[in-house]
Amino acid sequence: MFNTIAERSLHTRIARSVEAIRRSFVDNLFYVTGRTLENAAPLDHYTALAFTIRDRMLARLVSSDEFYKHQGAKTVAYLSLEYMLGPQLGNNILNLKLGDNVRQAMAELGLELETILEAEQEPGLGNGGLGRLAACFMDSLATLELPSIGYGIRYEYGVFEQSIKDGWQVEVADAWLRDGNPWELPRQRRYPVKFGGHLERYHDDERRLRIRWLPESIIYGVAYDTPILGYDVLKVNLLRLWKSEARKSFDLQAFNLGDYYGAVNDMVTAQNISKVLYPNDEPEAGRALRLRQQYFFVSCSLQDMIRLTLRDKGSLDYFPDRFVVQLNDTHPAIAIAEFLRLLIDAHQMEWDQAWDLTQRSFAYTNHTLLPEALETWPLDLIQRTLPRHLEILYEINRRFLDDVRIRFIDDPARLSRMSLIDEGPGDGVRRLRMANLACVGSMAINGVSEMHSELLKHTVLRDFHDLWPEKFQNKTNGVTPRRFIALANPPLAALIEEAIDGDWLRQLEKLQQLEPQADNSAFRLRWREIKHLAKQRLAEDIRRTCGISLDADTLFDVQVKRIHEYKRQHLNVLHIISLYHRLKHNPALDITPRTFIFGGKAAPGYRMAKLIIKLINAMADVINRDTQVNKTLKVVFVPDFNVKTSHAIYPAADLSEQISTAGKEASGTGNMKFTMNGALTIGTLDGANVEIREAVGEKNFFLFGKTVPQIDELRAAGYHPRDIYHQNEHLRFVIDLINSGLFSHGDKHLFRPLTDNLLDSDPFLVCADFQDYIDCQARVGLSYQDQEQWSRMSILNVARCSRFSSDRAIREYNADIWHLTPLPVETARV
Ligand code: NBG
């Protein structure tokens, strides 16, 4: 593109200048959106600026690409059915370090950068923590200059948009591509993916028995690449998402036979595969389309990796030197069977060698202990969809169980637990256990927090741990400080920048330098001012969107995450109602004024979670209207919690609610985002809370709740929540108030499914932890009254949070599993 280095760097400087950005913006406004400054709308401004920034990323993309081709370096292929990227424009400006110039260029045109950023529709290609983790990992991989490709699906509809009608969640389809997506580059690259049909046996030239799969249908996966910039490095990694298409847009043969509608139908069926992201927290059973999605994307991705290996290494024998395949949960685990199929059927490899390559290439991350969330697929569905894979799976299982038999003689129970096939718990439906498949095919198996990794070894994956202890590892999750501090909280980032030396956004350990500032009262004052500003900003957003006015001087007590019983939003609700109840009876009661903020989506088919949302809103309605208490208590449910709305929420929190039942939250990552923004945590000993508490110091963390061993004990002794209800007058008042109809216009039955569940079975120990939680909350309230002390604790939380950077997590994955070499790309900075 440029002949000399001098030419390149001249071009670079020009491209980054305020004037070049301004000109390029005006050009893009005209040539891309067909508008001028006079008649453009905010969305046009967004599009024009996005293209302006994209132009500046492309040179880096091209040089990274060329560089990689040249190197053929070992690359991690991250296979994930979800990527919750969040808005791209602001993040790309940040990573290019172009913030000041862009802001000024826009100002010269009479535009405000923040307003332009607001217009972006975020790609919500994930449900929650698992998808957001994948996005944080992409950011860190690029920043650490580690070669990587993220593979996934380019869903036409991401996670639904949530709106609240009459207190209930209403789901609205997320047509995120409607206004176009400036960040993606459609590629020519496409791969065929087969489904259904039957198998044929034949002999090859060397008279070996081979299998030919004659599918019922073939669809194509087309690559869409999104460049992922690292922070202030020249490296760009790829997120390669597959869109499904029909073999031809038009089946001429069918058309000639007059079956026009048949041809159209095939086209629609093919396109359906990448149509919509499935919600989690719902039983997967029988979701044929979901299985197709999983197979579709891993097949395309593996075909792509095989092509690259052959291109760069000349032989598939070197696959493990070219790729390591990280399975993000079991969703892509069918890749293990597909890899074998490709090697054996398409590349004529012998089983033993193919299996050896598989076991050296794959690694598996588990993200949940909830037994109901462990994926299984009915074998008859696999038979119908992937007949060849079923044979391969049987063969893997046969060989595997032979090994187990030898290793643990006389232990048939273990054999049936470890088998890839669940013979059916009496319902006669045989199922494929995806976690078992992932364990058998992988060289490394990891959990996502210390506690979760330990529990994995002793609970759901215990048998596998007995067999292969050396495969098991822990990789505690992390989150990117670029997005969750610098982008979400610029005033805090500016203060940190001022207070410490060095590139803290890349080396988060440098935050330690903040420690002494905890004792500096002038610094604490500024710390509080920044928090206050963030609270005012959030209050303003909420006033606009929900019409509720909040007081930024109150304690902001926040719980934002997917709505799930194990996360216990209802425990939080019980606390609020108990405060309300006490205040009503004693209006002079001296309690710390609080604003409770909730946000999160419930899976569309998860009725209890939806009822919890209704209860939060119903309670909010009553409390916010009650002039006797609404100076002291306020409750809001922020609709449509997503990455974009989260940017305003984390910085504004004083208190972070991490109150899951111990042993249920694999890690949590929201807990880390809050900590990084100076919120203190009220939490149980669960997931990464344990490590957060260790890191920030127990005095700077509000701990409550039963531990895992205590819960086991309680259960073993027989847990009777109704007894607690009878003994604990606070709990009784609260439950009775809910059932009195106060929050449901007199309807005494609306919330009965919820309260009955709590009193009859209470699977998540809400009643057992109730009193401890209430007491701990009282300590929180008192602590908050000493603002100096609170600020001290808040500063220490930030100073000690560096372990929760996704950079640290990625470094560990690399050191212990992937073994990639960082490759700094050296080209002109464009
Ligand atoms: C989620 C866990 C969280 C964890 C994220 C990322 C699933 C299946 N698991 O605790 O619930 O932080 O994964 O690891 O979504």
Give the whole-angstrom CA distance, residue 735 versus residue 742.
Answer: 11
One of 561, 575, 693, 829 is an active-site residue; which one? Answer: 561
pLDDT digits (tens, 9 = 90+) for 773-782: 999 999 999 9
pLDDT for position 13: 67
State the sign of the Cα–Cα–Cα–Cα dihedral 497, 503, 504, 505: positive
The reply to whether 567 belongs to the active site is yes
Whether residue 808 lies in the annotated active site:
no
CA of 255 to the centre of ligand 1 (A): 48
pLDDT single digits (tens) 254-302: 556 667 777 788 788 888 999 999 988 776 555 899 999 999 999 999 9
Q: Is 452 in the active site? A: no
Q: Is the pLDDT of residue 828 over 50?
A: no
What percentage of the chain exceeds 90 in pLDDT? 89
At 194, which amino acid appears?
Answer: K
Residue-level pLDDT at 248:
65
Provide the token pair at 479: 């989150």
Annotated catalytic residue within 673, 693, 706, 800: 673
Asked if 288 contacts 385 with a C-beta cutoff of 8 angstroms, the reply is: yes
CB 404 within 8 A of CB 414: yes
600: left (phi over 0), alpha (psi -120 to 50) or beta: left
Determine the pLDDT at residue 283.
Answer: 66
In angstroms, what is the span from residue 111 Cα to ligand 1's centroid? Answer: 39
The pLDDT confidence band at residue 76, using thresholds 50, 70 and 90, is very high
Q: Is 116 exposed, middle or buried (0-12, 13-18, 19+ CB in 10 A)?
A: buried
d(CA 771, CA 773): 5
> How big is the chain, counted in residues?
830
- The rounded Å distance from CA 822 to ligand 1 centre is 28
What pLDDT, on the 0 to 100 scale, is given for residue 829? 44
Q: Name, in order, each residue with C-beta under 8 angstroms of 289's C-beta and a sequence gap of 6 or more.
A: 272, 273
Euclidean distance between CA atoms 620 and 251, whole angstroms: 56
pLDDT tens by residue, 242-260: 999 997 655 556 556 667 7
The pLDDT of residue 280 is: 80
Q: Which atom of ligand 1 is nearest to the CA of 329?
A: 8
Ramachandran bin of 338, using left for φ above 0, alpha for ψ from -120 to 50, beta for the remaining angles: alpha
pLDDT in tens, 563-621: 999 999 999 999 999 999 999 999 999 999 999 999 999 999 999 999 999 999 999 99
Q: Where are the alpha helices (DSSP H) in 626-765?
A: 643-649, 670-676, 689-696, 708-717, 721-727, 729-739, 752-760
Q: Closest Cα to atom 12, ligand 1: which residue?
A: 668
Residue 321 has pLDDT above 90, yes or no: yes
User: Active site includes 561?
Assistant: yes
- What would the pLDDT profile of 788-824 be if each residue is shown by its tens digit? 999 999 999 999 999 999 999 999 999 999 999 888 7
Question: Count of CB atoms within 10 A of residue 596's CB?
Answer: 26
d(CA 354, CA 367): 28
Q: Say how far apart CA 448 and CA 473 lie, in whole Å.
A: 9
| Cα–ligand 1 centroid distance for 126 (angstroms) | 12
> Does residue 558 surpass a pLDDT of 80?
yes
d(CA 228, CA 383): 38
Q: Is 512 exposed, middle or buried (0-12, 13-18, 19+ CB in 10 A)?
A: middle
Is the CB of 448 within 6 Å of ligand 1? yes
**Ligand 1 pocket check: which of 81, 127, 368, 484 to mutate, most ligand atoms within 8 Å of Cβ?**
368
Q: How high is the pLDDT of residue 201?
A: 94
Q: Mean pLDDT score of the chain, rounded to an integer?
A: 94
- Are residues 453 and 369 in contact, defined by beta-carbon separation less than 8 angstroms? no
Q: Ligand 1 pocket: which of 130, 281, 764 to mutate (most atoms <8 Å of CB)?
A: 130
Q: Please report, rounded to a whole number, the percentage of residues in the chain having pLDDT higher than 70.
A: 96
So what's the pLDDT on residue 352?
98
pLDDT exceeds 50 at position 830:
no
257 and 236 in contact (C-beta within 8 Å)?
no
Terminal-residue alpha carbon distance, the chain: 12
Strand partners for 276? 157
586 Cα: distance to centroid of ligand 1 (angstroms): 42
Phi, psi for 784 (deg, rounded to 5): -65, -25
The predicted pLDDT at position 59 comes to 83
pLDDT at 377 exceeding the cut of 90: yes
Q: Is 667 in the pocket of ligand 1 (CB under 6 A)?
A: yes
How far away, in angstroms, is 474 Cα from ligand 1 center? 14
Distance 709 CA to ligand 1 centre (A): 22
Q: Which residue is catalytic, options 54, 132, 322, 367?
A: 367
Q: List, edge to edge, every strand of the sheet that includes 148-153.
A: 185-195, 217-229, 236-246, 148-153, 75-79, 323-328, 362-365, 444-447, 472-474
Asked whether 668 lines ligand 1 (CB < 6 A), one says: yes
- Mean pLDDT for the stretch of residues 514-541: 98
Mean pLDDT of 109-125: 96
Q: What pLDDT, on a 0 to 100 scale, did the predictor assign at position 68?
A: 75
What is the tens place of the pLDDT at every residue in 722-777? 999 999 999 999 999 999 999 999 999 999 999 999 999 999 999 999 999 999 99
Q: Is the pLDDT of residue 9 over 90?
A: no
Q: Which atom of ligand 1 is nearest to the CA of 452?
A: 10
Collect contacts of 399-407 with beta carbons under 8 A, ≥24 apart: 399/355, 400/440, 404/467, 407/467
Catalytic residue among 56, 457, 562, 594: 562
